Structure formats: C-alpha cells, structure tokens
Amino acid sequence: MLNVLDIVRHVFWNDQLFDRDFLPPEADLEKCQTTLADLATMTGAERIAVFQECGIHNSLHPVFLRALQRLTAIHGSGKIADNYMLHHHLSAHNWSPSLSSAHLLGYSFVNSEAFSTEKVDGPIPRPKGKMVLNSGGAISKTKYNGLLNQGATCYLNSLLQALFHISEFRWTIYQMPTGEEAEEKNDTGVKRTKSIPYALQRLFCLLQRGNEAVDTTELTESFGWSSTDSFIQHDVHEMTCKLLDNLENKLNHVQQSEKGDHSSHTKNNAIGQLFVGVLENFVCVDEVGYHGSREELFYDLQLVVKNTTDIYTSFERFFQVEVLDGKNKYCLENNGKKSYHRAEKGVRLKLTPPILLLHLARFDYDIERGETKVLSRWDYYNNLDLSKYMPHASKEDTDYTLCSVLVHSGSDAGFGHYFCFLRCSDAWYRFNDEDVSPASLREVFGANFGGFKLNYWGSEVPNTTNAYMLVYIRTSQIGHLLRSIGPEDVPWHVVRQIEWEQKEYERLLKERAEDHLYGKIYFIQPNDIEEEHEFLSCRRPQGKQFPTNTTFRVLLSTEALPAFQSFVEKQLGIPISEQLLWYPLERGENGHVFLHKQVIQGVTVSDILCGEKECCVFIVTPSTVNYIEADDIEEGDSVKYELLHHKLYIPLHLKVVFLGCTVLAYKKRVTSAEAIQLIEPFIQKRITEIPADANLRPNHHLTGGGSKCPVDPETPAAPSNERPLGAWTVPPEKIEAEKRERLSVLCEYDHNAYSKCSPYLNSGDILVWQEAISEEDKSGVFYPDIVSFQQFLRRLVPVEIKLNHPPSYSTLINTQLAENMTYEQLQRYVARLIGDPENYDRIRFTMHSPETKLPYFMKGRKKDRPTLGKLLSPPVPRYVALSRYLYYEYCKYTVTEIEAAHSLQFKLFNERVKPISQHWILMPREIPITPVELFSTCVREIQEAKSNSVHSFPTTPVLPKTEKEKELQERDVLDSDMMFYQDLDPDDAWKELRLVDVWRGRIYNVFDKDHPRTFENSTFEESAEYRIEKIPRPIEGVPLQNQSLIHVHHFTMVRQRSNSVETHGDPFSIYIDHAEFAPGLLRRIAYKLGLSEAAVVDWKMALVRENYVVEVQPGVPLGKQLFEFSLESQYQPNQQYPLKMAFLGLEHAPLLKRPVKRDSRVVILN
C-alpha cells in the first residue's frame, strides 16, 4: 500500500482537488497485510474494501484506484522501477469524479468522410488556462481522434473505436430517435443523459467532427456506472455482447412503439441485421433415421486458441462432430419408452452476418493458478474463406476481409492493457486510447500472433501482446458497410446541443477573464439557515451549492441595495417594501464573522465583499422572522434595527435546532433582559411547532422478520391488547398541558463558546435557548446544558446502528455520536429510539467484523468495550480503522444479568435434525453446571415458553404429497416432538438429552451424561451455536461393541483454499454398524433427514480428518474403513484440538445456495 500511496502523492495528486488532511498516515498503511500481488487479482469492490480497512477516505478512492491500476498494468506484482506513466496526458482534473467535463465541437468538415478524405484545416486552438469544461484531450496528430481512458476503460475504448469505424453501425446509431433526451438540460448546460443511444450519438459526433481525444464518461454514466466502476477492467468480449444486446432491445422497443407490435421477434432490426448470425445444433442417429436440429442466434463465435495453430484449425475444432457412444449414448423417448443409440452431435453455420465477430479464447482456467492466459502462437489472416463450413452458401456470403484487431497486452488475465488496429481508407492505424498512429502490416499481424520472441540476452520469452478479438466484414458488402458518413448524417439536435455547450464554454472563458471585475452574491432565507447553521458565522459555507435563481453575479462597483432589491423581487417575488437585507461581517476585536450588518444606501458590492469574491446576503421579511418594535415607532422616526438569531438545545435528542430570527426595531436601545422578555413568547410558540424526533423508530427491534416455525393453526391468536416483550405504544396525550417553566438562555459569542448575555444585545448575537429538563427525562440526558454538549461535538464519529437480525440487519439510525459515550449511555440512547427507555439494560451491542462485513461472532462485554470508541474498534488486530457499524439486540434478560451468570442460548432440534424452537436460560455462576442442573433448567424453559421463529434446513419430503398433506405431516411431527418435551420430567431430562456445541456446520463438543465436565469451570461460549436434542439411540439387534457413534457433517471441497474442506448445514450423530455397507447407511441417513433416496443419490460419502479426505468404498464394511482411517478415539467429541477430530462427511452442495459473486461482471443498468 505504501507503493500506491507513493504514486498518489507524486503522480496524480492535485491540491486544488483533494485535501491532504485526508491522506492516511504511512504507519497505518504499513500495518496492511495485503500485498500488491493480492490487490492485482482483486475486483474493484474488493480493492475498495481494502482501502476502507486502511482508513483511506472515500473521496480518495478513485485516485488510489487509478494509482493501483498503473502499478498493476505496468509492473504486475513487482516494485516501481521507473517513472513511466501509462496515460501520459492525464492529470488529476481530467479524471476526478468531483469535476465534470464537456466536449468541444470542432469544425463540421473534420473527419466527416472517415474513409476517403483528408483534413484540410488545422485544429481549433485550445483555450488557455485551467477550465472545468475543457475536455483535456490530446490534439489528434492524424485525421482520426482517440478516446480518453477513465482509469481502466481501455477495453471499452477499443470496442467503441472498432464499432465507430464501421460506418453502417454509426449510421444506425445516428438514426435512433433521441430528440426527447436532447431537450432536457440542467442548470449548467452540461448534458448528463441516462440514454445509451443518445450518449453514443454524442460520442460518435465528437469523434467524427472533433479535433481531439474524446471523454467516455457520459457513456459510462448512461450504463449506470459510478466513477469507481471505471477503474474495474472488464472483458471486452462480454462488453461487446452486453452493449449490442442492450442496443437491440432499445431498437425493438422503438419499433414496437411505432408499429404497435409487441411480438417476440427480436432480431428484425438494424443491429441484428449487422451482427447476428445463425448456428444450427444437430444430432444424427443413423440407427433409427433420426435427425434433430435447433437453431441458435449468435453475436460472435468463440474460437479455441489452446492446442491450435491458426484461425482455420480453430474453426475445424469448432465444427468438429462429437460421437456419442458407450456410456454416453444419445437417449430417445417414444411413447414413454427410452432407448439409447450411437449418435453424432455437432454444430454448423447456417447464416453468417455481414459483420463477423470472432472472440479468441486466450484465457484458460487452471485449477491451481486460477485464470491464466494462453500465450501460444496463433495465426490469423487478412482474408477469411468460410465456404468449407457453408457449402450451401454462395461465394459472396462466405468471403470476409479483416477490418479490426482488438489486442490484449499483458501476461495475466487479471490486468493488462487493451488497444486495437483498424483498417481505415485501405490503411491500418493503431488506436491506443487517445493516441492514434499509422501501423505497419507487421504490427497488425505478426506482432500479435503470440508465441515466443528473443529478449535482449537472446533468451526466448513469451510474447504477451496478442489478438483477442477479430472483426471481419463480408467482402462483397465492404463498400456499403464502410461508406463515407457525411456531416448531414449526424442528428441535428445532437450538433445543436454540442454547439450550445461550446458557446457556454466560451461564455465561461469570458466570465473567467472578467472575474476580477465581478462578485457573486448568494441570497439565503431562514429555511436555509435551518439546514446549515454555518451561515450565521461565515461569509459562505465551504462546498455549499446554490441554485441559479438565488445567485447574482454583479459588478463590484455597483451600489448594492437597489441592485439586490431588484434581483430579489424579480427572482423570488418579494416586494421591495418588505425586504430587509443583511450580510455577514467581522465584528469585535477577535475578528469573528457574524451575520449582523444591514445593507443600506450608499454601500457598494465591493464594500460587502470586503476583498473576497463571494458572500451570502440574508433576506428578511415580516412573514419569515419575528419582528418586534421595542418603542412606539411613527413614520419619519429614526429607527435602528438589530438582527438576533435563535437556537434551541434539546438534550434528549442530542442536537441543536435553529428556531428563527428576530428583527428588533427601536429608537432607544433596550437592555438584554428587556429584549429577552419581548422575545420569549415567540420562542415558546416556535418550540411547540418543532416536529417530533424523526429518528424515533418505535418497536424497531420487533421488525427483524424471518421465517416462522410451523405452528398449530388451531392455536388462538394473542389478544390485540397484548404487547410483545419490549414493544412500545404511544402514550395517550395529556388533557391539560403542564405549565412551562421559564426558559434559560445563553449567548454564543464565539464558535462553541457560550456565556450569559451581556447587559445589551448586539446585532448578530446568537441566543441559545433551553427548556428545563423534566424528572422523567433526567436519566436519559447525558449533557444537561449547551456547554457540556460541546464535549459531545468535539468527539463525534460516524456510526450506523443496525438490528442484529439476519439477513437484513435493518438500520435503526445513521448518525454521529461521541466516541466517549459509555455503554450505558448508548443503551439509553437506543432504548429511547425504539420506545422502551425503562428497559434500556436489555439492549446489548455487537461489534462489526471488517473481514466478514457482518456482526462479529463474539459479543462486546461492558467491561471490555466500555465506550462507543471501543465498540467501533476492530476486533481483529490487523485492522486499525474504526468501523462505522454497530449492531444491537433486545435481550430477554438485562445485560447486567447476562454478564453475571452462565448464559445459554440454544435451539431445540428434533430427531430429523430440524430446529423447532429457540430458547434462552441463565444459570448462577456460583453453581457448577452438571447435566442434572442444566437439562432440568432447559426443559422447564421449553415447557413454559412459546416457540420462536427459526430458520430450518430445507428438506425434501420422503413421499411427495400435496401441499396440504405435507403441511399436516410436518405439523404432526412437530406436535409429537413437542409432546415428548411437555411430558418429560425435568429431573430425568439428563438421561434423555444432550447439548451439542456446533460452529460453522461442525460438531465441536457434546455435553451429556457421558460427558459431564465440559462446562464445569467455565461459561458457555456466546459465539457457539448450541442445540439440545435427544441422545442418539443404538441400532436395535446389534451388540454395542459392534457399533460406534459417529458424527456426520455436510461438506464441500474448495480446492483453491488451504482449508479445502468447508462444512455447512446441520451436522448430526448416528450409530454405525461395523458390518454395515455405505449404501445402506446412506438410506438410513436419508430417512433420518426426512429426504427421499433420490435426493441423496448424488451425495458422496467420505472419511475426513482436517484436510485429508478418503472416499468411502461401497463394497467394504464401514467398520473396517472407519478404523483403518483413524483411531476410534479421534471420532469422539470434546477433543483438545477440535479441528483435528475425524468425522464421516457427506459431500454435496449446500441446500441453501449463496448468490454468485458478480463484482467483476459487466453490468449495464440502463
């Protein structure tokens, strides 16, 4: 990570765009265990996760991704050896996500005839000076323009250039109706469309008529990509299919709208006619005279490179006929009878498109190394003859000419660089992002065949620059497909919009040149101050954006009052007679800014700006502020005005709100006591108008969801007036409001500095009011006054508090809290939000794991994590940055009780290894836990409690039945299970039950009458998954010495990991007869799990110890295999090293499948 930081500092840093305070300390990055080689193979999302773990600020993620892309693309996993930059034109302002860029339109004749004419005039001179709207592209040295690389979009640039230079495709894009998108304009005039066709039209127009490299940001934004997605390199072949498919769908939608046709024919449009071909998959069974076929549409053909020498041998491999014989015979079914025959299966070309895309399978998958690149030599040719594969077609349809070669440079599939060679006007050009240069035939062909080359020392090294995609055009149609596209073919609305943007650009250039003569005034009203209190103490909040109708650009020499009043009346509709205007200015000896000065006659704009370029002006009207006349004022009297601002501190909500402003008009100055007395009724009224706390989420802890256990439908519903544990209901409003106590008030003379009001108030003073704290609220108030509240503000950290209930983990509040808030204060804070402040000690917190992005498996104890800062600290030592997530749960018992006792949460399992309820008990720490005490306590809890919701392991019924029958069957099983526990004598439960400690699908410990000392001197692990179940029963009729109790775990093999055995699901124990064979045991297991034999037919049975796996032989007695594999003692639970325990494994995929990870897939969201 230090190498990446070095590139950020010395290559890409720009002080005008980024804040150096956000750069992480080198000491933090040194602790990062992730190597450059690891980062090179990660997806973009995974790289961002590493940045977050290192404490890198969100605003710096794009620049770190750009630096990382440079390192991985040029140096792989090695060190920085030189100062070569991958894209030499880039500086920070070209690709920063915080700045937008519009393109400049050149002369209309430039590059308008792409394949026949030359440019006759020179390029437009680039404007001098740094301008946001300048595209920053390099001036083209040829008659063709390049494309700017956004970070890792070289693959997209190559594809776009190849498509743009196919004139028929460009003409098709120009013909797509996009007039409505062009009519939408934002305030700045820079069009940011979400329409892919319109974005392509603009891009192609700029490539055809411009004179410099063009930015593709607008197009990627139309895909729905963020700025971060531009730093994730995708596969160009996949990108091609996604883009063409998206354009086809949009063309179909247009055609259906115009014709009213909603049929499913999807290929009768211009894109389909250009790129879509037809393959025919066939099967021939000569024995019975059966010939079957199925047509398949394609955008491209994928040719195998591995173990082939050139394009024709790859086609031979593609069309090779497969013989189905032996165990792989073809199955035919006739009248319900199946028969198996020798058959031939293959694919043949039925129809080829005018533009043939050939994807070369240069990337292969190796089980040990992952995805690798095939670097062997593979030849392609300028002309391609497909007549051998289409004997039915004419010569005109099978002859193709090479038009484009898309090249991948790099030895690894995870990174590298794409560029392309294009045939333009019977000459070849190399398009490498923004650089366009003529290319020789050797560069186009021989240099990209792959194979080996000699290095400086005479040794053979692989040539890592290889063709990856070929574009062939039907020779008979090349004149039409590559015809000239003139300026008249470009949609006029696109040209008009770009020309308008050019004029806007020139206007901004002119404004910038004249900036020293003008200033900017931003008009604000009280509602703006409600959102941003900083308006009261600065001339203009940093980073604040203002709408155009409240922004006034005015000459510095202009008299302020009449100009301001006219602008406000015109833009905001406020009559001049009702306006009082105020602006911020330094006040007093300390030079602090207050919003206190009135705009009066004779003051110029320059006087208001005080040498700065921008300032806010506050608009006051009788309807928006509290207007008080301290004296009887008559017309003609000399009146003075003071502007006072009011805030209210609400200690229970931990916030300060803006109440409004008061304009105090007087002839004779009044004391502060008199002024406060006059103002207080207004404050009382405003307090009653404050809306309820929007952060309150009553009963949030009861909204976790989850699937319910099967219950008896005859059970009567709970009465509506019953409350679940911890539920909150809104108390009835009091008939008579209590008499309010007098308000207290302090004056904010400096930023976060408060004191009693001086004898006389001054214009611009900020009065902070506070109501008296009621007795019932005192326990929930952590900072009783505004002075102590400053301690809270100085220690703020972002925190998002979530409900610890999978899978949604719904958010309670996303806010900022002081990192020194105690555990109890956090409990009270959360309890108030969920509406149960009295039971605050039932709130328990869990830390966030930066590794799993889920709650940490261990709970945060009060004594170990006494403050919010400790709770947000990563539980894993190698992570240093504070998390922003904290999870809470509403417990059955108080946290004090839980931490002072043996706490056991367990699920009750039936004999089919399915959970039926979950429970929680506490046992005194002073008493050692024995089987008698434990199981009697658990059974009493089961008998007294109602079943809670749990997630069951999905199963298939033994006998398929209707849904109603299946539901009744499950209910009967549940009733019989619960009846057993209801009838069980708690004092005898230790003879029938056992407690099983399970973690991640593996049995670790067992506590029963035969293993009584497991928890004698220690408490239960809260991270474990405990369950109570019946003690497994031996096989009847088999002597005990001839059978063994073996633990059975479900598992899968993940061979790419060091710990290749991954257990899942619910494990169980079963007695195995030493003379039993595997098929019989598998049938018993299926019956135990409530599965049909068909459901387990593909399960493999194996013996497992650590990562050593041996498949069970079906014809050898299990006893012999068990004890040859491992000692009998190693199958027993409660071992010192549980992971070394041997078990019988059932290898199959999890029945609850996880979603496929798609971070690195191409996704077009629009």
pLDDT in tens, 613-646: 999 999 999 899 999 988 777 776 778 899 999 9
- Tell me which of 128-137, 207-216, 511-520 is least confident: 128-137
Cβ atoms of residues 1052 and 1148 within 8 Å: yes
In this prediction, residue 15 carries a pLDDT of: 67
Phi and psi at 292, nearest 5°, equal -115, 150
Distance CA 1032, CA 1003 (A): 14
Question: Given the structure tokens 């006349």, which residue do they identify?
Answer: 629
- Tell me which of 213-217, 807-811, 966-970, 1040-1044 is least confident: 966-970
Query: Can you list the alpha helix ranges (DSSP code H) found in 782-878?
Result: 786-794, 823-834, 868-872
Cβ atoms of residues 76 and 40 within 8 Å: yes
pLDDT band at 108 (very low <50, low <70, confident <90, very high): very low
- Gyration radius from the chain CA atoms: 38
Distance CA 487, CA 485 (A): 7
pLDDT band at 155 (very low <50, low <70, confident <90, very high): confident
Phi and psi at 849, nearest 5°, equal -95, 120
Residues 194-204: tens digit of each pLDDT = 688 898 999 99
Question: Given the structure tokens 């062939």, which residue do they identify?
Answer: 472
Distance CA 1, CA 54 (A): 9
Phi and psi at 232, nearest 5°, equal -110, 120
Query: Can you list the alpha helix ranges (DSSP code H) found in 514-609?
Result: 526-531, 560-572, 605-609
Query: Which tokens go with 663?
Result: 């304009």
> What integer is the mean pLDDT of 390-399?
92
Distance CA 85, CA 62 (A): 17
Share of the chain above pLDDT 90, in %: 42
Phi and psi at 103, nearest 5°, equal -95, 155
Phi and psi at 1075, nearest 5°, equal -90, 0
Cα–Cα–Cα angle for 57, 151, 26, rounded to 5 degrees: 35
Cβ atoms of residues 196 and 247 within 8 Å: yes
Cβ atoms of residues 347 and 282 within 8 Å: yes
**Which amino acid, residue 627?**
Y
At 1118, which helix (H) or strand (E)?
helix 1118-1125
The yes-or-no verdict on residue 162 having pLDDT over 80 is yes
- Tell me which of 70-84, 358-372, 484-498 is least confident: 70-84
Query: Which tokens go with 260?
Result: 């009213």
Residue 934 CA, chain-centre distance (Å), reads 45
Question: Between residues 63 and 158, which one has the greater pLDDT?
Answer: 158
Phi and psi at 625, nearest 5°, equal -135, 170
Cα torsion 428, 432, 433, 437: sign: negative
pLDDT band at 86 (very low <50, low <70, confident <90, very high): very low
Peptide bond into 575 cis (omega under 30): no
In this prediction, residue 232 carries a pLDDT of: 65
C-alpha to C-alpha distances, 502 to 45, 211, 257, 507, 954, nearest whole angstrom: 37, 14, 34, 9, 62
The DSSP string of 345-386 is EEEEEEE--SEEEEEEE-EEEETTTEEEE--S--B--SEEE-
Which residue, among 217, 239, 219, 215, has the nearest Cα to 434 in the 3D structure? 215
Which residue, among 34, 73, 100, 96, has the nearest Cα to 233 in the 3D structure? 73
| Count of CB atoms situated within 10 Å of the CB of 782 | 20
In this prediction, residue 456 carries a pLDDT of: 66
The single-letter DSSP state of residue 1082 is H
State the distance between the two ends of the chain, measured CA to CA, in whole angstroms. 35
> What integer is the mean pLDDT of 960-972?
53
In this prediction, residue 267 carries a pLDDT of: 54
Cα torsion 1129, 1131, 1134, 1138: sign: positive
Phi and psi at 868, nearest 5°, equal -60, -40
What is the Cβ-side half-sphere exposure of residue 719, based on CA atoms within 13 angstroms?
2
Question: E strands of 387-542, at which residues?
Answer: 399-409, 417-424, 427-432, 435-438, 452-454, 460-462, 465-474, 518-524
Distance CA 996, CA 907 (A): 10
User: What global pTM score does this model have?
Assistant: 0.61
| Helices 61-75 and 44-53, axial angle in degrees (round to 10) | 120
Distance CA 423, CA 406 (A): 12
pLDDT band at 732 (very low <50, low <70, confident <90, very high): very low
pLDDT band at 585 (very low <50, low <70, confident <90, very high): very high
Q: What mean pLDDT value characterizes the chain? A: 80
| 3-class DSSP assignment, residue 958 | coil
Phi and psi at 40, nearest 5°, equal -65, -30
In this prediction, residue 268 carries a pLDDT of: 67
Distance CA 356, CA 397 (A): 11
**3-state DSSP: the chain helix, strand, coil percent, rounded to 5?**
30, 25, 40
The residues with which 431 forms a beta bridge, in sequence order, are 420, 436
Query: Which tokens go with 957?
Result: 């019924």
| 3-class DSSP assignment, residue 1071 | strand
> What integer is the mean pLDDT of 578-604?
91
At 904, which helix (H) or strand (E)?
strand 901-909
> What integer is the mean pLDDT of 893-899?
91
- Residue-wise over 864-885: b if at least 16 C-beta within 10 A, else e? ebebbbebbbbbeeebbbbbeb
Cβ atoms of residues 300 and 239 within 8 Å: no
Which residue, among 844, 863, 856, has the nearest Cα to 883 in the 3D structure? 856
List, in order of start, the domains of the chain with CATH numbers.
2-86 (no CATH), 277-481 (3.90.70.10), 510-688 (3.10.20.90), 795-887 (3.10.20.90), 900-1031 (no CATH), 1034-1166 (3.10.20.90)
C-alpha to C-alpha distances, 1067 to 593, 999, 1060, 1088, nearest whole angstrom: 69, 10, 18, 12
- Cβ-proximal residues to 1018 (8 Å cutoff; 6+ apart), any chain: none
Query: Which tokens go with 141?
Result: 């040295």
| Count of CB atoms situated within 10 Å of the CB of 651 | 22
> What integer is the mean pLDDT of 51-63?
80
Distance CA 174, CA 726 (A): 63
Cβ atoms of residues 1114 and 1077 within 8 Å: yes
Distance CA 971, CA 964 (A): 11
**Which amino acid, residue 1018?**
S
| 3-class DSSP assignment, residue 255 | helix
In this prediction, residue 1024 carries a pLDDT of: 79
> What integer is the mean pLDDT of 884-894?
93
Distance CA 223, CA 1166 (A): 5
pLDDT band at 370 (very low <50, low <70, confident <90, very high): low
pLDDT band at 675 (very low <50, low <70, confident <90, very high): very high
Distance CA 376, CA 362 (A): 9
pLDDT band at 191 (very low <50, low <70, confident <90, very high): very low
Distance CA 42, CA 39 (A): 5
pLDDT band at 1097 (very low <50, low <70, confident <90, very high): confident
Question: Given the structure tokens 């394009």, which residue do they identify?
Answer: 311
pLDDT band at 718 (very low <50, low <70, confident <90, very high): very low
In this prediction, residue 407 carries a pLDDT of: 93
